Chains A and B, each alone.
Chain A
Amino acid sequence: MDFELDEDQIALQSAAAEILQKECPPSLLRAVIDGKGVDDDLWQTLVGLDWPALAIDPDAGGSGATAVELGLVIEQLGYVADPTPFLATATQFAPVIEASSDAEQRRRFLGPIATGGTGTLAVAGPTGRWDPADPPVSAERTSGGVRLSGRASFVIDGDRADEIAVLAATDSGPLAVVVPRADATVTREPAFDLTMHVTTVDLTGVTVPDDRVLAVDDPTAAFTAALESAVTGLSLMTVGACQRAFDMALAYTKERHQFDVPIGSFQALKHKAVDMYTLIERARALGLFAALCIAEGDPRRPLAAAMAKAAAGDAQHLVFKHTVQFFGGIGFTWENDLHLYLRRAKAAELIFGGAAHHRAIVGRHVLSGADL
């Protein structure tokens, strides 16, 4: 396996790092949190760079790069705790639409992403289980199309997505339906990641025409595959957020002096720093591997995505607790930016199943004899 980025990928990675750190400083996050600013300009910048449509097929209006390139950008988005609707659009909505066998449908729903269109997917119920085998929304065929009923919970960006991909159960098996956000009743829920939009989407009584039913043979499989992309995206976003918190804490150990020496000379902090570094590298390697499996259509992709999410969860757990500790009292303040990134890392752990959930998937899979 050739597991290193090529020159174009390295160039993309450093461009993303440079642009995002400039365009999305902590002050922007704070302005968004305080309701004094919006992330529209940042989103337009991302759209201008063609990043939301990076991995979308050129036939549907995208750039035709792969999940690896997308993953590299997402890691950098995590590094700045991206407040835009990027992640749900590129890693949740787009993969569902891509499963459609109807080229016209793919163009219709994916095409707008290149010019700033947004989307998300709705599959979780009120308990927060993202299980495509058990969707919270049901549907009924009517003369006017498909009538929906039910509420989807924990929908990311449901309040600002143009389109919502919904998995709806019917008597004759599930349907994948694309609902205009304007038709749904969406409530933004409070969440500790203050720039993440966590919403509840009520679809009861909404009817969509037949041409909004995706042409997929197996809607459950399409959503399952989309969740693998979603999980991989969240994993790499977590890696980026962890790297940010780690870089901040590491820099602090070199500046802050106590007992007349930099605190970074204390072995207790050194060893914790190495443990964080190790778990971040472990998570990054597995995140990129999952992206590579998706890019190459490798059959290990479900396992690889679960490994990535578990490893990202392990990393954020340690990075959260050690980096706050490294800062001492300053880490406990609102003013210190550290918590902005830790919130993103911890919130990402709670979505689409945490580390324990994904370890169990891996454990059962490998115990049953699957190859790594």
Chain B
Amino acid sequence: MKLTFDAETESFRQTFVDWLEANMPPEAATTERPSSTADLPQWARDWQRTQFDAGWLVPGNPPEYGGQNATLIQQFIHNEVLATRHVADSFNPQALGIIVPSILTFGTEEQKERWAIPILRGELTAALGMSEPNAGSDLAGLRTKAVLDGEEFVLNGQKVWTSGAHDADVILTFVRTDPDAPKHKGISCILVPTDTEGVTRRPFGSYISPEDLDFNEVFFDDARVPAENLLGPLNAGWKVANGSLGHERAMLWLNYSAALDRFVDEFRNAVAGTDAADDDRLVDWYGSVAIDAQAVKLLGYRTLAKTRRGMIPTEQSILKLFSSESNQDAHARAIEELGALGLDHETLSGPFRHLHLDGYMNSWFDGYLRTFAGTIAGGTSEIQRNIVAERVLGMPR
């Protein structure tokens, strides 16, 4: 147990920081705001490509996939530098974090060439089609159907919440291919190009603003997709859904941790010059947020250290739950503590934070609304609690 990493690791960090400072696009070049999580302005495509070519996009990958075969600890350092500097590697995060790893794990060589590499280079963008109107937490209850007809799958059904679908070139779509099998065993995963006839995308506003268009309904009406677009074996879609939660996702906590750290800083700035430090109630609450921020980091470090040693990092299971709820409570209290100042509402018109994904939403209120993405998307807090209780604590189903 040591407070610092070894010299070799620190020198890796310095190498990346130096590279970043030399290659990050300047603020003036990044003023065009991405309008969804699959909308890449040219500067964002170029930035992603620059990282890809230099092996810094996904350092753990081999060079042909934008990496340098970095070790786990090096991947962590890379993520930590980006997170603490609030620099986004990609403005199509679901593609880099979930879709590409799924293709690289389960795809054929052709699929990696056709989809993974162009997505990594920022030439194509992707969306994730899992949820449906009647299949949210109960994802395995999904009903969108795909039937093999000769050399093609024919898709019918509907997805919803599909972030960025209207700007995406391809949707990683989970479909039912065996209606008679038990529900987890009849699911497959298909790459559906969005220009396929019979695919209709309808973006709709989030509660942040009617102009915050990221959510989509996606309809499939006899949409025909080549059979070769099946990712992984037929009816093995559930495995693909779970398998994409590999190393990349194991480091997602860094983003939550960075969000909490950012909160601690921003709230301090917001009350600078006031007599906030004399308000015992406020100090008490703010202290607990700072404690949460530190605890998330420590639990994350512990997860990393255990993973490295081949131990099972049970703490990992609570990182998303704990940090997303803490971040949410912090924002709610912040608005209330700010009183009338909390009414400030810059929303989409506010300045776009240089290279930072969450910089769209600038008011404290919008920040609070955003925190519910953490407690709903990717498995709600309630579902997370069920999973931890059953799998970590061994409580009966």
A residues apposed to B, CB below 8 Å: 1-6, 9, 68, 250, 253-254, 261-262, 264-265, 267, 269-271, 273-275, 277-278, 281-282, 285-286, 288-289, 292-293, 296, 298, 307, 310-311, 314, 356, 358-364, 366-369, 372
Residues on the B chain within 8 Å of A307, using CB: 290-291, 294-295
Structural contact, B385 and A372, CB atoms closer than 8 A: no
Provide a sorted-by-A list of 16 A–B residue pairs whose CB atoms are within 8 angstroms: A2-B2, A3-B302, A4-B308, A264-B389, A264-B395, A265-B397, A270-B393, A277-B392, A296-B2, A310-B291, A358-B287, A361-B287, A363-B284, A366-B264, A367-B276, A368-B277
- Rounded to whole angstroms, the CA-CA distance of A253 and B261 in the bound complex is 37
Contact with A along B210-235 (1 / 0, CB 8 A): 00000000000000000000000000
Known A250-B393, A282-B295; judge A4-B306 contact (CB<8 A). Answer: yes
Structural contact, B382 and A271, CB atoms closer than 8 A: yes
- Rounded to whole angstroms, the CA-CA distance of A367 and B281 in the bound complex is 13
Known A366-B264, A367-B268, A372-B264; judge A360-B283 contact (CB<8 A). Answer: yes
- Rounded to whole angstroms, the CA-CA distance of A311 and B293 in the bound complex is 12
Residues on the B chain within 8 Å of A359, using CB: 283-284, 287-288, 291
Structural contact, B396 and A363, CB atoms closer than 8 A: no
Q: Which A residue sits closest to B395, measured CB to CB?
A: A264
> Quick check: is B236 within 8 A (CB to CB) of the other chain?
no
- Rounded to whole angstroms, the CA-CA distance of A250 and B396 in the bound complex is 11
- Rounded to whole angstroms, the CA-CA distance of A9 and B2 in the bound complex is 12
Structural contact, B3 and A298, CB atoms closer than 8 A: yes
Residues on the A chain within 8 Å of B264, using CB: 366, 372
Residues on the B chain within 8 Å of A264, using CB: 389, 395-396
Known A270-B386, A363-B286; judge A4-B1 contact (CB<8 A). Answer: yes
Q: How large is the interface on B (under 10, 10 to 19, 20 to 34, 35 or more residues)?
A: 35 or more
Q: What distance in Å separates the Cβ of A11 from its nearest Cβ neighbour in chain B?
A: 14
Structural contact, A364 and B393, CB atoms closer than 8 A: no
Contact with A along B291-333 (1 / 0, CB 8 A): 1111101110110111011010001001001100000000000
> Quick check: is B15 within 8 A (CB to CB) of the other chain?
no
Residues on the A chain within 8 Å of B19, using CB: none
Q: Is the interface of B mostly helix, strand, loop or mixed?
A: helix
Give the 8 A-B residue pairs with the shortest CB-CB distance, closest first: A363-B287, A4-B305, A270-B389, A359-B287, A363-B283, A3-B301, A285-B298, A362-B287
Contact of B315 among A2, A6, A281 (CB under 8 A): A281
Known A271-B382, A286-B291; judge A367-B309 contact (CB<8 A). Answer: no
> Quick check: is B4 within 8 A (CB to CB) of the other chain?
yes
Q: What distance in Å separates the Cβ of B324 from its nearest Cβ neighbour in chain A?
A: 12
Q: What distance in Å separates the Cβ of A6 from its nearest Cβ neighbour in chain B?
A: 7
Contact of B299 among A273, A281, A310 (CB under 8 A): A281
- Rounded to whole angstroms, the CA-CA distance of A358 and B306 in the bound complex is 30
Known A286-B294, A307-B291; judge A2-B305 contact (CB<8 A). Answer: yes
Structural contact, B268 and A366, CB atoms closer than 8 A: yes
> Quick check: is B394 within 8 A (CB to CB) of the other chain?
yes
Residues on the B chain within 8 Å of A281, using CB: 299, 315, 318
Structural contact, B298 and A366, CB atoms closer than 8 A: no
Contact with A along B360-395 (1 / 0, CB 8 A): 000000000000000000000010111011101111
- Rounded to whole angstroms, the CA-CA distance of A274 and B381 in the bound complex is 11
Residues on the A chain within 8 Å of B287, using CB: 310, 358-364, 366
Contact of A362 among B271, B291, B321 (CB under 8 A): B291
Q: Which A residue sits closest to B306, measured CB to CB?
A: A4
Q: Which A residue sits closest to B290, measured CB to CB?
A: A366
Structural contact, A372 and B290, CB atoms closer than 8 A: yes
Structural contact, A6 and B395, CB atoms closer than 8 A: no
Contact with A along B74-116 (1 / 0, CB 8 A): 0000000000000000000000000000000000000000000
Known A361-B287, A362-B287, A363-B285; judge A4-B389 contact (CB<8 A). Answer: no
Residues on the A chain within 8 Å of B388, using CB: 274, 277
Q: Which B residue sits closest to A282, measured CB to CB?
A: B295
- Rounded to whole angstroms, the CA-CA distance of A4 and B284 in the bound complex is 30
* Apart from the given pairs A1-B3, A3-B298, 4 other A-B contacts in the complex at a CB distance below 8 Å: A2-B2, A307-B290, A360-B280, A372-B297
- Rounded to whole angstroms, the CA-CA distance of A288 and B301 in the bound complex is 12
Interface residues of B in 251-297 (CB under 8 A from A): 261, 264, 268, 271, 276-277, 280, 282-288, 290-295, 297
- Rounded to whole angstroms, the CA-CA distance of A214 and B323 in the bound complex is 46
Residues on the B chain within 8 Å of A3, using CB: 1, 298, 301-302, 304-305
Structural contact, B283 and A292, CB atoms closer than 8 A: no
Structural contact, B396 and A254, CB atoms closer than 8 A: yes
- Rounded to whole angstroms, the CA-CA distance of A253 and B390 in the bound complex is 12
Structural contact, B395 and A289, CB atoms closer than 8 A: no
Structural contact, B4 and A1, CB atoms closer than 8 A: yes
Known A1-B5, A270-B385, A372-B264; judge A367-B277 contact (CB<8 A). Answer: yes
- Rounded to whole angstroms, the CA-CA distance of A48 and B209 in the bound complex is 68
Residues on the A chain within 8 Å of B5, using CB: 1-2
Residues on the A chain within 8 Å of B277, using CB: 364, 367-368
Q: What distance in Å separates the Cβ of A33 from its nearest Cβ neighbour in chain B?
A: 31
Residues on the B chain within 8 Å of A261, using CB: 396
- Rounded to whole angstroms, the CA-CA distance of A253 and B354 in the bound complex is 51
Q: What distance in Å separates the Cβ of B379 from its nearest Cβ neighbour in chain A?
A: 13
- Rounded to whole angstroms, the CA-CA distance of A78 and B276 in the bound complex is 37
Q: What distance in Å separates the Cβ of B273 from its nearest Cβ neighbour in chain A?
A: 12
- Rounded to whole angstroms, the CA-CA distance of A277 and B318 in the bound complex is 9
Q: What distance in Å separates the Cβ of A9 from its nearest Cβ neighbour in chain B?
A: 7
Structural contact, A372 and B395, CB atoms closer than 8 A: no
Contact of A274 among B283, B308, B315, B321 (CB under 8 A): B321
Structural contact, B284 and A286, CB atoms closer than 8 A: no
Structural contact, A278 and B322, CB atoms closer than 8 A: yes
